[in-house]
């Protein structure tokens, strides 16, 4: 186990006076942008918004902000929060931000991805900062208002001004994150942690859930009962809630003794497969950390493969079963996949890999 010294910052570490007379520019007024803008304005900072002329712009105006084009906001602001989706950041940066940047500015990212994998290259004359809340936008606002604070990963990637760290901490204070704590983590570490949670943990958890349901259904338990027990009742949510509240080593104390005994005795058995899981996870981690995933995602093939997977995911395996059960139980059907167009025949014909992918899906649909 490697022991890394971790720097954690709290309100006492920040001095807001360094931001006196500075203008904060929010580029993007979505999930994170709106909450962060409102928090900083409540802290007394001057905040303007840069956005295209559409619904988000109207929302910012209704909230009482001055809204400019992105180009104009970049010219006017000292601290630029760059809060638009990661995937289009590079293009918008090249076209609208880079030509308007000047010295003594800072750009603040809420995700390490583009800098970590060299997809976006800011000029050397500005500060480049990371304030990545471990919380969705609504939570960033709620936990500011109820003074609980929230965790963030923060970092100085480029210190052109010589004051980047002081600015970073002052902005963190105004965002409300220092009430709970901001942890120093590089852009690369933030990006890898984020992606690995999605790719190393998410699918492993999903696989265990699927196997559990499959075993029960094959053993003759009604599919409705299985889905209610494992998903629809919301019981499983309480496990994560208890882990968050009491800690991983103590959460089971929230359950009756019989439950505790059952969990502990079987955890020992599951250690037998731990090494196999860890080996797959190590490969996933290496793929992400080496930049392999970012490179893969940039390619045409990944985008087509993504379309294929998204199209088939709700149509195979548990998808149809779940659809029937939800209908029977009068639960609403929300089609999150509606916007995905089926890959064209040309796409499929041109790619052996996609044909293999389809075969995999057929095997998977045996559930």
Of 132, 129, 174, the residue nearest 155 (C-alpha): 129
50 φ, ψ (degrees, to nearest 5): -115, 120
Exactly one of 133, 149, 200, 343 binds ligand NDP (CB under 6 A); that residue is 133
Selected range binding ligand NDP among 37-45, 81-89, 121-129, 337-345, rule: CB under 6 A: 81-89
Q: Which of 88, 334, 338, 363 binds ligand NDP (CB under 6 A)?
A: 88
Site for ligand NDP, residues 202 to 241, rule: CB under 6 A: none
122 scored as a contact of ligand NDP (CB under 6 A)? no
In angstroms, rounded to a whole number, what is the distance separating the alpha carbons of residues 101 and 334? 43
Assign residue 118 a region: left if phi > 0, alpha if psi is -120 to 50, beta otherwise?
Answer: left
Among 92, 154, 182, 294, indicate the residue that binds ligand NDP (CB under 6 A).
92
* CB-based burial label for 219 (10 Å; 0-12, 13-18, 19+): exposed
Which of 120, 325 has the CB closer to ligand NDP? 120
DSSP state of 184: E
3-state secondary structure of 84: coil
Which residue in 51, 185, 89, 86 sits closest to 129, CA to CA?
Answer: 185
Nearer to ligand NDP, 84 or 182 (CB): 84
Closest CA to 325 of 215, 227, 186: 227
What the block records as the tokens of 67 is 């809204």
Residue 192 lies near ligand NDP (rule: CB under 6 A): no
Q: Which is nearer to ligand NDP, 22 or 52 (CB)?
A: 52
User: Applying CB under 6 A, which of residues 8, 44, 66, 136 lies at the interface with ligand NDP?
Assistant: 136
Q: Least separation, in Å, of the C-beta of 212 and ligand NDP? A: 29
* Beta bridge mates, 48: 25
Give whole-number Cα distances, 312 to 11, 88, 201, 244, in Å. Answer: 48, 26, 22, 34
Looking at the Cβ atoms of 51 and 105, the one nearer to ligand NDP is: 51
83 touching ligand NDP, by CB under 6 A:
yes
- Distance spanning both ends of the chain, measured CA to CA: 39
In the bound complex, what is the minimum distance in angstroms from residue 56's beta carbon to ligand NDP? Answer: 4
Q: What is the number of residues in the chain?
A: 367
**Least distance (Å) between residue 192 CB and ligand NDP:** 14
Asked whether position 177 contacts ligand NDP by CB under 6 A, the answer is no
- Rule CB under 6 A: choose which of 58, 66, 85, 302 binds ligand NDP: 85
User: Based on the number of CB atoms within 10 Å of its own CB, is 352 exposed (0-12), middle (13-18) or buried (19 or more)?
Assistant: exposed
Tell which positions 256-275 bind ligand NDP, by CB under 6 A.
none
- Cα dist. 181→12, 34, 313, 334 in Å? 11, 21, 39, 37
Query: What binding mask, one character per residue, do residues 96-115 give for ligand NDP by CB under 6 A, x or -?
Result: --------------xx----
Q: Which two tokens stand for residue 155?
A: 């970092």
The answer to the question of residue 68 lying near ligand NDP (CB under 6 A) is no
**Can residue 319 be called a binding residue for ligand NDP (CB under 6 A)?**
no
Nearest residue to ligand NDP by CB is 30
- DSSP one-letter string for 64-78: T--EE-HHHHHHH-S
CB of 360 to ligand NDP, least distance (A): 29
Q: Residues 29-58 vs ligand NDP: string with x where CB under 6 A? A: xxxxx-----------------xx-x-x--
Please report, as ranges, the residues that interact with ligand NDP according to CB under 6 A.
Answer: 28-33, 51-52, 54, 56, 83-86, 88, 92, 110-111, 132-133, 136-137
């Amino acid at each position: 186990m490697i022991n890394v010294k971790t720097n954690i910052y709290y309100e006492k570490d920040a001095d807001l006076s360094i931001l006196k007379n500075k203008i904060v520019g929010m580029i993007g007024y979505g999930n994170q942008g709106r909450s962060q803008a409102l928090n900083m304005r409540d802290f007394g900072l001057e905040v303007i918004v840069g956005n295209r002329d559409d619904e988000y712009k109207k929302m910012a105006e209704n909230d009482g902000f001055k809204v400019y084009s992105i180009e104009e906001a970049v010219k006017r602001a000292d601290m630029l929060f760059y809060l638009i989706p990661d995937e289009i950041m590079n293009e918008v940066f090249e076209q609208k931000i880079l030509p308007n940047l000047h010295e003594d500015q800072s750009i603040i990212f809420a995700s390490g991805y583009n800098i970590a994998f060299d997809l976006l290259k800011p000029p050397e004359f500005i500060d480049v900062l990371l304030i990545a809340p471990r919380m969705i936008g609504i939570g960033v606002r709620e936990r500011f208002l109820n003074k609980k604070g929230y965790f963030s990963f923060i970092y100085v990637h480029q210190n052109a001004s010589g004051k980047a760290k002081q600015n970073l901490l002052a902005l963190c204070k105004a965002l409300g994150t220092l009430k709970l704590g901001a942890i120093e983590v590089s852009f690369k570490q933030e990006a890898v942690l984020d992606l690995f949670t999605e790719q190393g943990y998410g699918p492993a958890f999903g696989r265990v859930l699927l196997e559990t349901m499959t075993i029960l259904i094959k053993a003759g338990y009604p599919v409705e009962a299985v889905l209610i027990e494992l998903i629809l009742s919301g019981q499983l949510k309480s496990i994560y809630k208890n882990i968050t509240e009491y800690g991983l080593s103590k959460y089971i104390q929230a359950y009756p003794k019989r439950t505790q005994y059952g969990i502990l005795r079987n955890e020992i058995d599951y250690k037998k497969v731990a090494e196999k899981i860890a080996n797959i996870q190590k490969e996933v981690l290496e793929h992400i950390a080496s930049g392999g995933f970012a490179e893969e995602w940039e390619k045409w093939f990944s985008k087509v493969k993504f379309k294929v997977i998204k199209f088939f995911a709700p149509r195979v395996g548990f998808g149809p079963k779940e659809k029937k059960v939800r209908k029977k139980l009068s639960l609403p059907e929300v089609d999150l996949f509606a916007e995905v167009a089926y890959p064209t025949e040309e796409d499929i014909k041109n790619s052996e890999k996609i044909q293999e992918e389809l075969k995999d899906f057929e095997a998977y649909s045996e559930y």
